[in-house]
Amino acid sequence: MKKLIACILIGVTAFSLAACGQSKSSDKAASDGKATAKIESMKDLNGKTIGVQTGTTGDLYVSDDPELADATVERYNKGYEAVQALVEGKIDAVVIDDQPAEVFVSQNEGLKILDEEYTNEEYAMCLAKNNSDLTKEINKALKELKDDGTLDNIIKYYIDNENDDVKKYEKQDVERDGELVMATNAEFPPYEYYSDDEAEIMGIDVDIAQAVADKLGKNLKIEDMAFDSIIAAVSTGKADFGAAGMTVTDERKESVDFTDTYCTARQVIIIKE
């Protein structure tokens, strides 16, 4: 987790130095910051300014939620940019996945996560609709990795490993033929993020993808891109699959197929204390 914390610190510092806004902010929230103090539950978000990462499940849910018809949605390319806007009083709340939320809150004094979750979601890999054979192969590999405990160990290593009793998954020594190209957005810890020296992308999705590649006897190649470009990359064949803490939704199913789910997460709400 030390690498994960360092990654967030670097990202937030870089954003602060750049001091560039992502989109219009609420004058009401920026001027007095009092609206945030009144948010005690999900229903209190209506009429407030909510930050989300562009193209993520949080963006989809908040934008289409009829109970938030009077809310203003501010979109950011990266999750930590939305959190920084909250810290600076430009928005009232951030809706994001629970694990990244815990990291952001731990590194920014004065923030907290509401006890009431926004929604539950399931993560899966996305593939082109004409790639059913690969989808079946990955599903078979995921089942084997779940049955032998590998999936649970990978997730525990990044989320619940305070005593360092779980070892990081290591690439296996197997014969390989060809490669699998994974499209991701390395701004979503602990699922995918850059190492301290920015030499490699690591995280839950990366290790699971490597384990799948080991099962299939393929070399894994990772392509980092904007989150909302992943489905297009997969659909056009620029990548074999996408893995980026991606939630299975009916809207996304219109464009791509999904593997079996491998992780369950929650959308939560970050506010100022």
Domain residue limits, the chain: 2-120, 122-265
Q: What's the fold here for domain 122-265? A: D-Maltodextrin-Binding Protein; domain 2 (3.40.190)
Task: Give pLDDT, residue 26.
Answer: 43
Among the listed residues 122, 64, 115, the one whose alpha carbon sits nearest the alpha carbon of residue 268: 115
The fraction of the chain above a pLDDT of 70, given in percent, is 86
CATH of 2-120, one of 3.40.1110.10, 3.90.550.10, 3.50.50.60, 3.40.190.10: 3.40.190.10
The fraction of the chain above a pLDDT of 90, given in percent, is 73
Over range 230-242, report the average pLDDT: 98
Examine domains 2-120 and 122-265 and report if their fold is the same: yes
Among the listed residues 171, 166, 227, 224, the one whose alpha carbon sits nearest the alpha carbon of residue 195: 224
Within the chain, what is the greatest distance between any pair of CA atoms?
61
Q: Is this model's pTM higher than 0.85 or not?
A: no
More reliable by pLDDT, 35 or 131: 131
Task: Give pLDDT, residue 132.
Answer: 97
Task: Give pLDDT, residue 46.
Answer: 94
| Dihedral (Cα; 127, 129, 131, 132), 10-degree rounding | 100
